[in-house]
Amino acid sequence: MVDYKFISDSVFEAYGKNLKELFENAAIALSSFICKIDKVKPKEAEEFLMKGDNLESTLSNWLSGLITIIIAEKKFFSKFEVEEVDENHVKVKIWGEPIKPEVLKNTVTSIDYSKYKIEKTKEGYKAIVGLKVLNEI
């Protein structure tokens, strides 16, 4: 179940009953901020493994890695499947296609760590993620 919301112009909350849902929903939220995600076809698949020292760094490394992939490979992504996840690593399969300029919404440069937090809730997990946008620098 896709579960996220934007709480300001460049800050979103992502939710998940478990870590798999949290990581997938955070990636969907990030992608939906960057592009018109419903216009991106899941044509090409790639797999990625990201590691971290703890849950916070693993999620931030995954989202930062996704930003880097978008910029370096000039692709947008619309489908995310977490295959493995724990507090220290995430293995994800992602699908997307080359960037089409008309699909771009915002150019994100990085995670804003001053607006970054993960909480364990009674429903599962909640991540608050701030984004640095090119026109804000």
Yes or no: say if 27 and 66 are a contact pair by the CB < 8 Å rule. Answer: yes
Domain boundaries, the chain: 4-136
Assign 8 a pLDDT band (cuts: 50, 70, 90).
low
110 strand-pairing partners: 132
Predicted confidence (pLDDT) at residue 137 exceeds the cutoff of 60 = no
Structure tokens at 83: 């295959």
How far, CA to CA in Å, does 91 sit from each of 49, 52, 95, 103?
4, 12, 14, 27
Q: Which CATH number among 4.10.80.40, 3.40.50.300, 2.20.28.120, 3.55.10.10 corresponds to the domain 4-136?
A: 3.55.10.10
Read off the amino acid at residue 117.
K
For range 34-58, the mean pLDDT:
97
Q: Classify 40 as helix, strand or coil.
A: coil
Assign 9 a pLDDT band (cuts: 50, 70, 90).
confident
87 by Cβ neighbours in 10 Å (0-12 / 13-18 / 19+) ranks as middle
Count CA atoms closer than 13 A to 42's CA, side-chain side.
12
